[in-house]
Chains A and B, each alone.
Chain A
Amino acid sequence: MIESLLAPWHAFVSSFPFEWARYEFMRHALLAVIIVSPLLGALGTVVVANRMAFFSEAIGHAAFTGIALGVLLGLANPLWSMIGFALVLTLAITWFRRRGGLSSDTAIGLVMAFTVSLGIVILSRGGDFARYTGFLIGDMLAVTGGDVAGLAVLAVVVCALFFFFFNRLLLGTLSPALARSRGAHAGAAELCFASLLAVVVTCALPWIGILVINALLILPAAAGRNLAGNTAGFFGWSVLIALVSGLAGLFASFYASTATGATIVLAAMAIYLLTLLRRSAS
């Protein structure tokens, strides 16, 4: 059913006169990059504006424990335990920040150290950790048609919620006091956004890799910030830069036989450095 939906895509891309277009895994990977990169670029604008970069890093690293829970529960696909654990962690970090009286980076650092250690301890029992190192660098070329369909559904749901909460998030970023006086509960909007972010990061992890996924959130937005004069420009540049670096990284990794996630990050980094030139020129 999914493969029949994707048939026109395969026919279209196969007609390209490039070597990569002959491979089904590349056509799937291309579609995944076209869906995931702009999504990360869009969410990244709020991550950068709200100073949540360390939070998203922690969510990525917590995947170790999510995978470990999946193994302990005997799940065939650890994705569900990863998502569940990422959401629990989002609530825990929010709670530590509000009630524990800890500063945000201390709260996140504490929770991250605990979850990474717990995950590694469970996964390394019997010296078997090597089985899971694939998650560290990700494997974009292992994307299946089913994965692409799942990503597309996720993207639609996340975009709808993101756009719904966006104005409240923006006002809360600018001035929490002003947001509250306008009846926008910035705290609730932030928790919803953090949950969305946790789900997206976790779902994209197996393909992009734990070690580099955070860079894909932050770099396009940081670059876009150097170019934009208003919110729509910030958003547009970030999404565009994420897409361009995603495509450039995918093709470069195919011809250079390198890990796709890390190659995409290098492409995004190159664009970011270019925007620094533009910023210092203006």
Chain B
Amino acid sequence: MELPPDNAPAHHGVAPHRCGECCTTMRGVGVRYNGKSVLQDVDLHLHCGELTAVIGENGAGKTTLVKCLLGEIPHEGEVHFLDASHRRPDSPVIGYVPQHSSFDKDAPVSVLDLFAASLATRPACLGVSPAVREEALTGLRRTGAEELIDRRIGTLSGGELQRVLLGLALTPVPNILVLDEPMSGVDHSGREKFYDLLSKLRREFDFAVLLVSHDLATLARFADRMVFLDRRIVCEGPPADVLRDPRVREAFSLHSLS
């Protein structure tokens, strides 16, 4: 695995714009399944405009952490969102990009249908209104995927589907964007393009990004902060520091680095 030199600047030298005012806070978050602890004592702050990468081995609780943030499962501790005026809105807008391997590839469903199922009140089986089509195009344009709108989902490549799902997660523009293993099944140049796009979008819209991935080499360049999870937070900080931690290097077999 090739890692950038320690002094490599994040974001290709472009400082991100951050309002620094709004923030998502997880405090003492823990989850038990059948009495067994799968996640405990997680304290995490996600600031807007900042990309936080969560790494860890299989079974380390990464997806469980995402589910806590999305409010899908009961958990100990607190998850709060503070907006720029330090109010606590009941429900921040969370954009979510799922693992695309979970999609049914045979279904006769177009990209537009996917947007309609998420956004429209009219059932997608009775057609899609021009207003929803326009909304879908706006979302897809943000990720350069507008020409895919009438394609069947099953015919999209991994990278194309990822841009579609990101466009959907940006409709409406979220406060927090959560991506769970977004790059599985996407080739190297596709990953670079995707993370470039993600960096551009978070500067433009100033949302917080939480990204779960195994893709250490690319994350090292694009993440502001890295969190190494093994049922609890083992270490966190700038990617260069985290990737030097012996526990991380052992977990990911980073022995080639001296």
Contacts and interface: CB of A to CB of B under 8 A. Distances in A.
Given A167-B117, A229-B108, A230-B112, A235 B103 contact: no
B126 A235 contact: yes
B248 interface: no
Contacts of A224: 108
Contact of B128 (A178, A180, A232): A232
A208 B106 CA distance: 30
B116 A180 contact: no
B164 to A, nearest CB: 11
A231 interface: yes
B254 interface: no
A233 B124 CA distance: 10
Interface stretch (A20-28, A168-176, A241-249): A168-176
Given A45-B125, A174-B117, A174-B153, A230 B109 contact: yes
A72 to B, nearest CB: 40
Contact of B96 (A42, A164, A178, A225): A178
A166 B123 contact: yes
Contacts of B178: 181
A167 B108 contact: no
A49 B107 contact: yes
Contact of B110 (A164, A182, A229): A229
B152 A231 contact: no
Contact of B127 (A167, A174, A232): A232
Interface string B109-125: 11011101110110111
A167 B126 contact: no
Q: A168, A224, A229: which has the most chain B beta carbons within 10 Å?
A: A229
B114 to A, nearest CB: 6
A134 B13 CA distance: 78
A138 to B, nearest CB: 28
Given A170-B109, A182-B118, A231-B109, A175 B126 contact: no
B124 A170 contact: yes
A174 B109 contact: yes
Contacts of A173: 104, 107
A230 B102 contact: no
B241 interface: no
B187 interface: no
B158 interface: no
A207 interface: no
A176 B126 CA distance: 22
Contacts of B125: 42, 45, 163, 166, 170, 231-232, 234-235
A188 interface: no
Q: Which of B99, B112, B123, B165 has the most CB of A within 10 A?
A: B123
Nearest to A181: B96
Interface in A7-62: 42, 45, 49
A163 B117 CA distance: 12
A230 B70 contact: no
B94 interface: yes
A170 B70 contact: no
Given A167-B124, A171-B118, A177 B109 contact: no
Interface string B76-118: 0000000000000000001010110011101111101110111
B150 interface: yes
B72 interface: yes
Given A231-B117, A235-B125, 14 more contacts: A45-B125, A49-B107, A163-B123, A163-B125, A171-B118, A174-B114, A174-B117, A177-B98, A178-B98, A228-B108, A229-B110, A229-B150, A232-B113, A233-B108
What are the 5 tightest A-B residue pairs by CB atom distance, in nearest-first order? A181-B96, A235-B125, A166-B123, A230-B110, A228-B108
Interface of A: 42, 45, 49, 162-164, 166-168, 170-171, 173-178, 180-182, 224-225, 228-235
Interface of B: 70, 72, 94, 96, 98-99, 102-104, 106-110, 112-114, 116-118, 120-121, 123-128, 150, 152-153, 165, 168, 178, 180
